[in-house]
Structure 1
Amino acid sequence: MPQLSPARSRLALLALALGGFGIGTTEFVAMGLLPDIARDLMPALWEADQEAAIARAGIVITAYAVGVVVGAPTIAAAAARFPRKALLVWLTVAFALGSVASALAPSFETVVLFRFLAALPHGAFFGVAALVAASLLGPGKRGQAVAYVLAGLTIANVIGVPSITWLGQQTSWRVGYLAVAGVFVLCALAIVAAVPAMPGDPEATMRRELGAFRRPAVWFALLTGALGFGGLFAVYTYVSPLATEIAGAPERFVPIALIVLGIGTAIGNIIGGRLADRGALRAIFILFGALAASLLALALLASTLPGLLAGLFLVGLAASAISPAIQTRLMDVAGDAQTMAAAVNHSALNMGNSLGAFLGGAVIGAGWGYLAPTWVGLALVVPGVLCALAGWAVTRRDQVATTSDARENGDVELDMSVTASPASRP
């Protein structure tokens, strides 16, 4: 890659962040528009039982999450050799087409299908964009590179999601998705103009990339991320009824609640990137403690508007900070399969998205009320911490084994380099 001026590098990072902005908007805008989707596509159920209609509409969010889970490892494994700039452009075009198809879908079932298809490029885009950003920033800044790309996603929660939620409420949820498609068109043009040409990995093969899944530490990191984000999305999916039914706010207050949560995610992303560069596994333990405290605060304070806003801000901050830490951890333990590691994090996070949305809808559908998903999120923290501990134990065992083998072979210098390398540090 040719040497870029600082200004050109910033423009390239901005183009990548714009992709994250579009993805964050298309993924999260359904949270605020669930009542509108349910009212439009399931009128009979809406008239009979609005709570049940909203719970069923949550399947739209689950479908997107499942699409990410399926698409991230598949596309990352198949496309690791492709030139990265061209791959990013085509993935962005696919997002635009998926958003248009979602807006024009004639029934609830077809919306669910198109949301699944629209999500397939999600993880691959973030994975490839993170590798490009890391190349632009230089060594030792992988966590910050991930945070730069994810910054667009978190800013989407502050600007894109609330504004398009408002647009959808004033016009139609379909207009909201058409606006999202427009964002992706702008992103594709920005990538073409600003991101430098960058080759793929010529040594990459599908077998090598998929080989990352033979490592137990990779699986424990994925489960940790899924459970952590499950806690966030158990809350985030049902922000609209949480604000209107628990805090007693009017529907027009929902975008404000989303903005406050989005500000928390934007700040948390920056914090998480910096913590990850100082030690990803340590950052994960710190941030899970913060997430548990914030979910508890939300559960106890959500009945008042100030308490609701404070709780949403803290939940967004803690949960979003986990994402760069998990992605850096995956890149630490995935060996040569860096494209897969950078992409599959988003499979894990969207497994959490799907899990949180499903469990939140289940407890609401069971009649436990709109506050129940917050307690579900808190419960998911415990197995998340246990998975992080298991990942630490596996990494520690492998480091001890590597040290023992090196000493037996009389190669002490090799042992020291292995245990100190960024790829093996927790």
Structure 2
Amino acid sequence: MKIVLRRALTCGIVIGSLIASAPLAVAQTDGTDCFDRTVAVTVSERRIDLAVPQELLRRSGFDRFSPRFERLLCAVRSKHAAELLVRTEGANLWRAAVDRVQGRGPAGGDLARADDRPLYWARLQLTKALRQWRPSFNLTAGTRTALINSLEAGSRGQDAVTFPPGRGLRKVLVSGFDPFQLDGDIRRSNPSGANALALDGVILRTPTGPAMIRTAMFPVLWSPFEAGTVERTFLSAMPELDMFATVSQGRVGRIDIERYNGRWHTGPDNDNENRASAIPIPSGIPTVTPQPEFVPTTLPYAKIVAAPSGRFPVFDNTSVTEIPAGTTTPVVSPTGPTPGSVARAGGGGSYLSNEIAYRTTLLRDALKLTTPGGHIHTPVLLFAPDNTTLVTDPTFEQNRTDIVAQIRKIIETALS
């Protein structure tokens, strides 16, 4: 952890020095003259100006990141300075979100600290700024994309999955997701994201010794998954992990430990892009050949289901959707895949939650590891039944508190 903090501080000092004292790298600017606001942005970024995102940013204090980032961007005069700035500001946003949820520093507003949504909307403001930035030097499309990807990785904790050296501390990696289905209700939160922010850097005291959790967030977008963002995040840490768990929001009123993850993805993502195809593994990523239709969890599901963990019932979900061998019609198999079948949905469905579970458990098998790992589906995070407009309410806050506490207890149980 000290290594990560030292790197972040060093990078911040470098950026400050560039902006303060390097006339060849930066220029004096009022921060408003280097953007082309007519440049097209993503569907996700277009939602930023709606009332709810603006309220969430204002009431959390996370509306402070975009003005600062835009001022600094307008001062940048070289590709190298841009890379340093993006790397630093991405890491700063991630650390600020983690610190806010974990109670460090001022809250910045009256929105509950545990809320995951400020990070999501603040990140989109920064990626939108990068997309519309008109620097004073030549910036190729490829370099702009690389800068956006760097900001995404840094502000999601994806490039900070490091553990202290030594054998005395067990190592756990847990992932979370952004809010999704925002065209249905722009207020939506994702308890798996709240869980990731609450657990990053936390050390659990278990009967078998202390365990450190590192977390990372992932977008509800097909393209980054197809480009390998999941495997790149997990790959370097996977051989030293004692456990990993991908977490997402699932069904109403229950928690599921998904037994099987399927090689098929469907549905619209947060940019309204659709898929209906087998999950592709990008070149250069270790994999299993031929690519299996289903990959099982290695989490201790029987132990997890049997142990009391909180108010929501926990299930070992063995159901999948498959096309049985010799047939052409998908059917539900409640007890798992049958020999020779073709996947159409894992236990967690065929959306990005199933996909992150498929990719990580397939990577585990490609590396020939026996690490316990798999997917946990949280309950849907619900508002009070009579709340159709407010961004939060006491029922919503209590539901999130209970879900996050129960997922933590499940992780502790799995480690015991």
The higher relative CO (CA closer than 8 Å, separation ≥ 6) is in: 1
Report which of the two has the higher share of strand.
2
Q: TM-score, with normalisation over the residues of structure 2?
A: 0.29
Report which of the two has the higher share of helix.
1
